[in-house]
Amino acid sequence: MSVWSRIKDALEALRAGEPLLAVFDRLRTAPERSVAFTIGVIALGAKLAKADGTVTRDEVSMFRSVFTLAPADEKHAARLFNMARQDVAGFDSYARKIASLFPPRDPVLRDLMEGLFHIAMADGNFHPAEEAYLRAVAEIFGLQDACFRSMMAQFVPGALADPYDMLELPRDATLEQARAAFRRMVRETHPDALRARGVPEEAVRLAEDRLKALNLAWDEVQQRAAA
């Protein structure tokens, strides 16, 4: 059963007047865990789109692209998105509750951050308010500053890229340390590993781009070591 098909009960609760955050908080045990994650993702994406003051058509389209929706499910997601995008207030509550669904530094939290970066850059501009929003979410998720810098380099034109940031290592790390970090992060990020841990399929797809970036970072570290 698609996670989106289980959104119906949540929407009925919202129509009955239950606050969105309360619905999210109630849906945090299996099998509703994936529903809670999905609601949280929609809320964070919608509030990010509002962070610079205006929700653009490009941002809405990017959300649909990054967090793939079946045509039959779009109306459910659209209603939740419209509820959440009324203002930015409360985004930190959703971020904390999403973080509580996963172990510290779980790869799915990085995947979600990358999805949010996609939305922030949908209109071609990276607004200071969007950067502040994303930094706050990354901190709540427990992501290291090096991890955030690597995403900045990946998504924001002009941001400096560094392979050691991608591997979350200091610049003076040895080749063996880099190899160990690379292997660990590939294991954690592999789609099969995510599925085995029960991560919602909507989040698994985002891991594919990260695997490509990790391979590029490891290649560059090896080239520097050989120079």
| Residues of the chain where predicted confidence (pLDDT) is lower than 70 | 1-18, 20, 23-24, 26-36, 59-60, 62-74, 76-77, 80, 87, 160, 197-206
Per-residue exposure over 48-84, b if at least 16 CB sit within 10 Å of its own CB, e if not: bbbbbeebeeebbebbeebbebeeebeebbeebbebb
**130 burial level (CB within 10 Å; 0-12, 13-18, 19+):** buried
At residue 173, the pLDDT reads 92
**204 burial level (CB within 10 Å; 0-12, 13-18, 19+):** middle
Q: How many angstroms separate the CA atoms of 102 and 113, rounded?
A: 14
At residue 1, the pLDDT reads 44
Q: How many angstroms separate the CA atoms of 9 and 29, rounded?
A: 15
- Provide the residue ranges of all domains of the chain, joining segments of one domain with +: 3-226
At residue 169, the pLDDT reads 87
